[in-house]
Amino acid sequence: MRTWTAVVVAGALLATGACGTKLQETPSSSAAPKTLVYWGKWAKGTPQATLFESVIADYTKQTGVKVDVQWLAQGQEDQVKNAIATGQGPDFYDTAIDHTAGFRAAGALGDMSAVFKTKIPGEGKTIEEVLPKSVLKAISDDKGYGFVPHSVFSIGLWYDSSRYPDFAPKTFDDFLQLAVMEKAGKRQPIAQDGTINSYNAFWLYQVLLTTAGPGTLRQLAEDPAAWDRPEVKKAVTSIEALVKAKLFQTDYMATKFPAGQNAWAAGDHTFNLNGSWLGSETASLRAASVKPRIVPLPPVDPAKGSVVTVGALGWAVNPNSKNPQAAADFLAFAMQKKNIDRIATDAANIPSRSDSPAPVELISIQESIRNATDVSLDFDGLAAVNPKWFNDVFLPLDDKLIGGKIDAETFLREGKAQTGAMVG
């Protein structure tokens, strides 16, 4: 299971504190730095760490500028914020969409506009120009761009294309009918790690996107009246139908991660609603006969425009860096196509650039991200901006709904009442 969650949409994150911090100016007469400092989130030896170390070595060879990289792994975010608060810290560091609000509030993110206008060596284009508009929208808040993304990810329906080479259900009901046919053949079609409540909630949230659109979950958290919206009821009743069809594996709510997704990888089940990281996460366990692919969850109402959940990982610049231009130059170097292509080939993830192809199993979801006109954060960003409601109201009720303990009517009634009690 990935360590970062995707939680951003344009303008949605509420940031406070030193939000508009300008990157320090470097006098034009100053000499180029001999060393840049980079604090990474990845554990040494992981595909991303190995890839970025290779890029760093290439950069030093070509420019003479060394990059002192420290792989901090868990706890990196707090170390970055604490160091920058004391006027120290790296020149640039790893971040992700769900950390933008926290880093902004801590004064750890500067104005990135100049960085995005930096030209990529040998390509004649800026960082901004090689990224899809949907990704630019996703990495932005009301203060502008948060960081330079190298990888993007999404949530979608994984399936085994060896069983369904032409899998293309037009609606959620079409998908349910296909899954019911699988079950009729004595096969439980859907794998679910039911002890991971956020994975359970993927179902309702992705269906909500196709009925009520992005921002709906935030409305449910803030306004009890939102629970009466017909689009919300339609989404919840669709999940009730999924549960009643008994399409998950036996005892799915007691299945401990990663047993469910491993069983899917082994070919015991055909479908798994999960992140775009699932393919690489289960690659070593995958049966030779399984040919995984991922597509957006089919919409409840195909007449409505599609909405895609977009997350991203990348690099942010310390606003107090004494080498902001050098940091921007390195990031532009790292964003060369030959480097970002390796996000797919070396790390089995989706590259951020418009012209960098994803691994074959991720091509469909990559196209959905590239072509999206409306993007959504994961769970509308509530895990970051309203964690109490998300953890105390939504997730427990969703577990009861997806576990078949309550029906749609009870879910809506209790959700409205609990939200009303919380917001006063």
CB 369 within 8 A of CB 310: yes
Bridge-based pairing state of the strands 35-40 and 66-71 = parallel
Domains in the chain, start-ordered, CATH in brackets?
35-153+310-372 (3.40.190.10), 155-307+386-423 (3.40.190.10)
* Cα 170 from Cα 347, distance rounded (Å): 31
pLDDT of residue 8: 32
pLDDT of residue 27: 40
pLDDT of residue 383: 87
pLDDT of residue 122: 97
CB 279 within 8 A of CB 158: yes
pLDDT of residue 5: 34
Cβ within 8 Å of residue 233, ≥6 positions away: 408, 412
Burial of 184 (0-12, 13-18, 19+ CB in 10 A): exposed
pLDDT of residue 385: 85
pTM: 0.88
* Cα 250 from Cα 253, distance rounded (Å): 9
pLDDT of residue 32: 64
| Ranges in the chain, pLDDT < 50 | 2-22, 24-30
pLDDT of residue 15: 31
